[in-house]
Chain A
Amino acid sequence: MESKSASVNGIAMRWEEHGQGVPLVLIHGIPTSPLLWDKVVPRIAGARCLAWEMVGYGESIPQGASRDISIARQADYLVSWLQQLGIQRAVLAGHDLGGGVAQIAAVSHPKLCSGLFLTNAIGYDSWPIPSVKTMQALAAVMRHLPDPLFAQVLRSFLYRGHDLKEVAQEAFEKYWPNYAQHGGATVFVRQIKVLRTADTLAVASRLPELNVPARVVWGAGDGFQKIEYGERFSRDLRAPLRRIERGKHFTPEDHPDVVAEEINRLLADVDHSASLEQPA
């Protein structure tokens, strides 16, 4: 993947890009970054993959220091970025918080979204998860944790969300340096403080109105985002649900083959759908 950056309305935004074809925007969650998709992207065929970095996350942590980094606002940032790139229509794929951003962007700008892919995404009232709610309530205590201790919190979070331990360790090594470099627990607290259920509840009733191809992949053993929510997305979006029975939360890292396979199927659905729209 090629790292790219651009100033969008005064915000230094960055993303990883690979391939050519239909724009496919991949949106990560917490505590990850575009690197979440690094094993998925090489398996995607016929698409221009753009793994966008949420403002205030990954290498863009400094950009979030004095900005609203709620997921509702992230959807605005995402749309502004796409407009600046001249992308009028894209397939949106989201994991965790990124799934919430994708839903909000799709519902708010239906012409922008040509297809929707969700994997172990937040939605409805599925979030913040209980441990994050506790950390939100104790933000004043959490934010003081020294790096060696906060690193353990981050590691524990990643290990609980992966079904493959060696991948969990790789994930920690990918994501920890950005936290360590920019303020550790202070940054994490900044990210979680603005997580509000209301942001996804505001668009939940309009998900069934999205008239685009959609697919859902879910790690059925996810203790953070429960399979019942994947089933609900599947019903509301009229989307096939592919369960990964042994999968947990971080499906793009533990099961990139399955995630990529379903994204490729969605891309084919989008192609088919677009061809039906055109007059003979």
Chain B
Amino acid sequence: MKSRPVAVAFDVIGTIFSLETLRDRLKSAGLPGETLETWFAQTLRDAFALEVTEVYRPFRTGFVARGRTYPPTMAQPDVTAETLSDVVAELIKLG
């Protein structure tokens, strides 16, 4: 390699470590485990929208905000922001 790269970007979440740990947390929170991929993809879409508007919010905030509007979550009124925050806490531990 003749020249050093200026920057190296790593895809971390879902690549360096798996999201599977979250699935059990989702189930224990009373949410369908199969929603994980869509929920996560929509959170990434939101993060992309924030990035282009030059607004930063922590991943946890975005994940919980998306979760609160996600149809399977909305159908279960007993699932609170705290519940969702607990779910994503597992992800933070992995990071």
- Which A residues are within 8 Å of any B CB, using their own CB? 131, 134-135, 138, 141-142, 144-149, 152-153, 156
Tally of chain B residues near chain A (CB < 8 A):
18
Chain B's nearest CB lies how many Å from the CB of A259?
Answer: 28
B24: CB under 8 A from chain A?
no
Q: Nearest CB to that of B50 among chain A residues?
A: A149
* Residues on the A chain within 8 Å of B49, using CB: 138, 141-142, 144-145, 149
The distance from the CB of B83 to the nearest CB of chain A, in whole angstroms, is 16
> Is the Cβ of A149 less than 8 Å from the Cβ of B46?
yes
Q: Which residues of A contact B55 (CB under 8 A)?
A: 149, 152-153, 156
Which of A134, A142, A146 has the most CB atoms of chain B within a 10 A radius of its CB? A146
The interface residues of chain B lying within 8 Å CB-to-CB of A144 are 42, 45-46, 49
- 13 A/B residue pairs, CB under 8 Å, sorted by A: A141-B45, A141-B49, A142-B49, A142-B53, A144-B49, A146-B46, A146-B68, A147-B65, A149-B65, A152-B55, A153-B50, A153-B55, A156-B53
CB-nearest residue of chain A to B61: A148
User: Which listed residue (B42, B50, B53, B61) contacts A131, Cβ 8 A?
Assistant: B53
Look across to chain A and name the residue whose beta carbon is closest to the beta carbon of B69: A146
B46 touches A145 (CB 8 A): yes
